[in-house]
Amino acid sequence: MNELKYKRLLLKLSGESLMGKKGFGIDHNVLEFFASEIKKIHEIGAQIGIVIGGGNIYRGLSAADQGIDRVTGDQMGMLATMINSLALQNAIEHVGIYTRLMSAIHMEEIAEPYIRRRAIRHLEKNRVVIFGSGTGHPYFSTDTAASLRAVEINADAIVKGTRVDGVFDSDPEKNPDASKFENISYLDILKNNLRIMDLTAVSLCRENNLP
């Protein structure tokens, strides 16, 4: 077997990707698909950490537009990520992979508290680790949480899974003429204000040379 280019990965999944063709919630066929794909990566020797968003259930930023306090809205969004994280943990364990869920917000009944050294130890033991609750703080997206966790666990790369199959100059679901990039740099993302990840997340990856 060829040596893996990236031994330790941080996979960022958008909450919307769990909806499938539904307008809300979780499509269990999508969960099963993600679990099977994660198993394939795990079986070739990769160590996998995962951060998942909550946009299929609740978006704190959108809630602020409807009169809900931003901090409260973001906290509700963090809880939504835990619902998705529990569902994904269950799906991955169903395909036979030991999985640990760690939360940035203390909720010991359902998840371990996030402790960096413990997370790395789980990965070294070939357990998949899901990081829930974002950063645990309002005003930070799950994209930023993914970049932060990737840096903290010394990931070799961060991979983002969304509902579109690449990086485009605009949203291909809204603009059928959107152009796809075959290659792109951090600087291009920042200069063109591309919304593949928020700018804080991109800057964090750039500063730490994280592919």
Q: Residues 135-188: pLDDT tens digits? A: 999 999 999 999 999 999 999 999 987 656 666 666 677 777 777 776 777 777
Nearest to 155 by CA among 9, 23, 2: 9
Q: Residues 15-66: pLDDT tens digits? A: 999 998 888 899 999 999 999 999 999 999 999 999 999 999 987 666 667 7
Q: Give yes or no for a contact between 78 and 139, defined as CB atoms under 8 angstroms apart.
A: no
User: What's the mean pLDDT in 79-98?
Assistant: 98
Neighbours of 128 (CB within 10 A): 26
Sequence-distant (≥ 6) Cβ neighbours of residue 62 within 8 angstroms: 73
CA dihedral 180, 187, 81, 11 (to 10 degrees): 70
Give yes or no for residue 107 having a pLDDT over 60.
Answer: yes
pLDDT of 170: 65
pLDDT of 194: 74
Give yes or no for residue 1 having a pLDDT over 50.
Answer: no
Give yes or no for residue 129 having a pLDDT over 80.
Answer: yes
Class of domain 8-207: alpha beta
Ordered by start, the domain boundaries in the chain are 8-207
| pTM (predicted TM-score) | 0.88
DSSP string computed for 85-105:
HHHHHHHHHHTT--EEEEESS
